[in-house]
Copies of this chain bind each other. A is one copy, B any other.
């Protein structure tokens, strides 16, 4: 890697983390809070880690505006595990679940739900998935309506929540805390931490306690959200160091001004990169429909695959990494999660403008 450029990390997840959160972890890695040992060497039931666990929950409640009606859980297995545990808990026999499949990850969520019970795609979009429909199904009569709030593969995002007549469930892995959140609209939100919240290996779940009480009890205890809500995520040993890092990242998020400040930053970052695309519309082609463009993952293609590859390599030589599109889609993808600064996005936009002029 270049010695002359600072690394700018556009990875899609695991992604870049705020430097202060990592420096804090480094500085106290061998001696947490004057205890003489690492936070990861403390018992999950002891006081030292207990303070971290409590602070992590308090920060989620503060930053996402989580009311007492909803439990905040730190689980394992990522969104991929929640794809299974959500229907295991809430898709009772004889009921159906509605999935608004707006991208490849939503399709995986649906496939996993079908191993559990009756689940169907209620959007019926073609598999290019270039937009979030303005007219949205409401899940009437379903056990729940599942959405993917941001599609990392296709670069689309919900900018208005659907009016749901069923409990609304959202996979928010790739945009949670990127903007203020109206938690009471949702019966369950889940998010792998590795984009906006921390390292991989922690799953944040925000879930309506009243809904938990209606869940199935004929599944293994470890997979019941009720188990973890009753034990405040200490039913079994949690990923303590991952939760500690999440705490550090959320403390940074709060210090930056919280969700409103993140929204302002993220709007500004996305505007810079989309402006570079729109300034060379014959050179950079963005498949996402204008009203559905994601602020988190800007997906585009150059005129040829060879140019995609040259773009990614030239950016890397400037210290900008993680721009190669997902192996399933190809192209270019810039992930602009919370830890990416406006200056980072500007550097990319400048590079795109130059590259289009030079190569286009």
Contact = CB atoms under 8 A, between A and B. Distances in A.
Contacts of A241: 199-201, 241-242, 245
Contacts of A1: 34-36
Given A14-B41, A80-B235, A237-B194, A7 B30 contact: no
Q: Which residue, of A6, A12, A23, A41, has the highest number of chain B Cβ atoms within 10 A?
A: A41
- Tallying the copies of this chain within the complex gives 2
A76 B194 CA distance: 15
Contact of A40 (B14, B218, B236): B14
A94 interface: no
A245 B242 CA distance: 12
Interface in A13-65: 13-17, 19, 22-23, 25-26, 29-30, 34-38, 40-45
B42 A11 contact: yes
B242 A242 contact: yes
Interface in A192-222: 192, 194, 199-202, 218-222
A79 B237 CA distance: 9
Interface string A225-246: 0000000000111111110010
Interface residues of A, number: 67
A43 B76 contact: no
A223 interface: yes
Interface in A273-325: 319, 321-322
A308 to B, nearest CB: 17
A164 interface: no
A220 B29 contact: no
Nearest to A238: B200
A322 B48 CA distance: 12
A334 B40 CA distance: 18
Interface of A: 1, 6-7, 9, 11-17, 19, 22-23, 25-26, 29-30, 34-38, 40-45, 76-81, 83-84, 88, 111-112, 115-116, 192, 194, 199-202, 218-223, 235-242, 245, 319, 321-322, 327
28 contacts: A11-B42, A12-B43, A13-B237, A14-B43, A14-B44, A14-B237, A14-B240, A15-B41, A17-B38, A22-B30, A26-B26, A26-B30, A29-B29, A76-B239, A80-B235, A81-B222, A81-B236, A84-B220, A84-B222, A84-B223, A111-B221, A112-B222, A115-B221, A116-B220, A201-B239, A241-B242, A241-B245, A242-B242
